[in-house]
A and B are shown apart, each in its own frame.
Chain A
Amino acid sequence: MAITAPLVQPASHLWSISPWRISHVRRELADTFTLTLDPPADAADAAAAFLPGQFNMLYVFGCGEVPISISGAAGEGGRLKHTIRAVGAVTRALRQLRAGDVVGVRGPFGAGWPIDDTAGSDVVIVAGGIGLAPLRPAVEAILHARERYGRFIVLYGARSPEDILFARDLGRWSSRLDTYVDVTVDRAAGAWRGNVGLVTALIARVGLEAEHTVAFLCGPEAMMRFAVGALAKRGVEAGRTYLSLERNMKCGVGLCGRCQLAGHFVCRDGPVFRLDRIPNVFQVREL
């Protein structure tokens, strides 16, 4: 797994896309799938370098480009995974692609999770829905250097038992004695033996020492708003809370202006922000 400093995008190739080949398509959920991408031969080394939480712009020939978080690395040779939910024209076009097809890639872009800076702390990961995708590399990175962290807690909320993303990974993490994993769903019937309720209920129940804890959040913005409230109730302050935001973006490097949010460009200064650096985001509507 290659996790190193972000690349500096050479200016002369700012807009150039490089063709990556799909080596594998995995259906995750009814509307969600993971593409495993092989870098072009001349870019394999550089391509492997990414920070958990960073994203690539993925291009479908003639159709358009969308920012998609990197949801994992795969083996050697700089292979990357992107987990995508088909919700619009480009993501639906991505879903039509098969192994062997080519996707245009620009990136990786943005600031990732503070994996190194939070070593020594307890870490609580709070994910909702497809928000687990940009957090999966963070979980893997922490597990990779597990001894550098204190308690490690992964809390995940999904719509229903059928909508639980990366169930196999959740099971694998959960089987470790040094990691606490809890999952909840909004609605369930019959055979489901797990939790039902909002992910905030998991935050209220989990044992944590606020002053040693940092939280990483990713999910729908309203879910993060509620989760931030639940964490604050447990004493986890904004200065120890990190979240990944989503905004409309076209360039990925702070030039197109679309993802400007207060004093930041989400593509360049985020998508991962420390909450106290974006204090207005949940207070002011339609910001």
Chain B
Amino acid sequence: MQIIDAIGRSLQQVPVFADLSADYHQLVAGCGALSVFQSGETIYREGAAADSFYVIRRGRVRLEAHVPGRPPCIVDSLGANDPLGWSWLVPPYRLQFDAKALELTRLIRFDAACLRRKMADDPRFACAIYERLVPVIVGRLAEARRQLMDLYGQPAGRSQAWR
């Protein structure tokens, strides 16, 4: 129980869950465990079962995609307080990217099956979780799209440019 209390307390420090009610903090924390990855260690791999959801407490994690014959393509990097992984929310619950620790990284690992069960039992709890994760997903999608804009690239048609 001490571990679960500790996890519940540290969840209050995580902005995305900070305003969950105490009851729901307990529900979430009940599925949690602490986990540590060394620099360079793989946290999960594309294609594996999405049986965990993480919140990063310390350290840095990068998401990458494996491309045969090329170095891995880095798609995003996450740091302290960031939620990691949302494939566990949608069937078929398969991970879509590799996650790798860039330095010593401490995470809270939540058992996805446990969370899904509690969400199925209590739709209001499910709603509270979605309400907190959907904005993260929307924000990351917007950022990814803006990355595609190549804002710092050389503008097209520059041969006519005044400068």
Contact = CB atoms under 8 A, between A and B. Distances in A.
Contact of A163 (B72, B82, B152): B152
B130 to A, nearest CB: 20
Contact of B143 (A31, A129, A200): A200
Contact of B151 (A87, A190, A222, A248): A222
Contacts of A15: none
A159 B81 contact: no
Interface string A175-198: 000000000101111111111111
Nearest to B163: A88
A129 B154 CA distance: 11
A163 B152 CA distance: 9
A15 to B, nearest CB: 19
A13 interface: no
Interface residues of A, number: 38
Interface in B69-91: 70-77, 79-82
Nearest to B70: A189
B74 A186 contact: no
A110 interface: no
Contacts of B162: 66, 88-90, 248
Contact of A205 (B76, B82, B154, B158): B82
B132 to A, nearest CB: 15
Interface in A186-229: 186-198, 200-201, 204-205, 219-220, 222-223, 226
A158 B147 CA distance: 10
A158 B150 CA distance: 10
B149 interface: yes
Contact of A158 (B70, B79, B152): B152
Given A192-B74, A205-B80, A197 B163 contact: no
Contacts of A194: 77
A174 to B, nearest CB: 15
For chain B, what secondary structure do more than half of its interface residues adopt (helix, strand, loop), or is it mixed? loop
B92 interface: no
Interface centre among B60, B75, B102, B162 (most CB of A within 10 A): B162
Contact of B161 (A89, A196, A201): A89
B148 to A, nearest CB: 8
A199 to B, nearest CB: 9
Interface string A119-140: 0000000001110000000000
Contacts of B154: 31, 87
A227 to B, nearest CB: 11
Interface string B45-85: 00000000000000010100000001111111101111000
B81 A205 contact: yes
A200 B75 CA distance: 15
Given A196-B75, A196-B76, A197-B76, A128 B151 contact: yes
16 contacts: A87-B154, A88-B163, A89-B163, A130-B152, A159-B152, A187-B73, A188-B74, A189-B72, A196-B75, A197-B77, A200-B143, A205-B81, A220-B152, A222-B149, A223-B152, A226-B146
Interface of A: 31, 66, 87-91, 128-130, 157-159, 163, 184, 186-198, 200-201, 204-205, 219-220, 222-223, 226, 248
